[in-house]
Structure 1
Amino acid sequence: MTTFTTLGKIALSFPEVTVDPHFEKISFRVKNKIFATYDEKNARATLKLSEEKQSDFSAVNPAIYPVDNKWGQQGWTIVELSEVDEQLLSDVLVAAYCIVAPKKLGEQLGEG
C-alpha cells in the first residue's frame, strides 16, 4: 500500500521534476510536460505510459488500468495507490517519466 507521500517522494527524486496544480489535481511534470497526476479525492494517480507499458503493468496488478475513455487509449493509466506496493509504484513512475522526459533525462534513471 502506498500513499501520496510515497508518490511524491519517488516522483520528486527524478531529475528536473516540478509540482503544479492541474485543475483539481496535483501534477508532476518534467520540462512542463505532465507524466503523473494525483487525485486526492479518490487517492489515486494517473500516469502517462506507452500502450505497451500500460498493458504490461495492467497485467501485473489489476489496480493499474487504462483510463476509461480516449485518454486511456493514448496511454493514460490509473494507479490505485492503496493497492500497489512502493516498488511497483516506483517502476510505473519511472516508465511514465521516461515516456515524457527528454531522452538524456530518462537515461539518468537507466531508461530512455
Structure 2
Amino acid sequence: MIEIETFRKIALSFPETSEQPHFEKTSFRVGKKIFASFDSKDNLVCIKLSVIDQDVFSVSDKTIIFPVPNKWGKQGWTYIDLKRVHPNLFIDALKTAYCEVAPKKLSDLIQPDFGKEL
C-alpha cells in the first residue's frame, strides 16, 4: 500500500515538479503538463502513459493498474489503486509517466539514455 504522503514525496522528487489543484483532485505537473493526479475519494492515482507503456504496466494485474474506462484511457491515462500496488511497481509507473510528459533534458535526469555509450 502506498500512502498519499509517500506518493507526494516521490512525485515532488522529480525535477521541476509542482503540485497544483485540478478540479476536485490534486495534480502533479512538470511545466504545465500533468503526469499524475490523485483522487482522494477513491484512493486512485491517475497517470499519463503511452498506450504501449499502459499495456505493459496493466498486464501484471488489471485490477491494480488499468486504463481509465473512457476516451482518456485510450490516450494512455491509467489508474493505479494505491491500496494494492507494490511500491516498486508504483515507482516505476510514476517515473514512466513523468518521463512521458517531461522535456527530454529533464526525463534524462530520471532515466538516462543508456544507448549513448554504444
Which TM class, normalised by the smaller chain length?
over 0.9
Alignment of 1:55-66 (within 5 A): 55-62=55-62, 63-66=64-67
Aligned to 1:46: 46
Normalising by structure 1, we get a TM-score of: 0.96
Alignment of 1:1-112 (within 5 A): 1-62=1-62, 63-111=64-112
CA shift in 2, pair 1:61/1:31, >3 Å: same
User: 1:61 offset after TM fit, Å?
Assistant: 2.7
CA shift in 2, pair 1:111/1:52, >3 Å: farther
CA RMSD of superposed structures (Å):
1.0
Long gaps (5+) in structure 2: 114-118
User: 1:60 offset after TM fit, Å?
Assistant: 1.9
Aligned residues: 112
Long gaps (5+) in structure 1: none
What letter corresponds to residue 80 of structure 2 in structure 1?
V
CA shift in 2, pair 1:99/1:6, >3 Å: same
Runs of 4+ aligned residues of structure 1 deviating over 2 Å after TM superposition are none
Deviates more, 1:54-63 or 1:11-20: 54-63
Residues of 2 paired with 1:19 and 1:28: CA distance? 5
User: 1:86 offset after TM fit, Å?
Assistant: 1.5
Say whether the 8 Å CA contact 1:98–1:111 is kept in structure 2. Answer: no
What letter corresponds to residue 103 of structure 2 in structure 1?
P
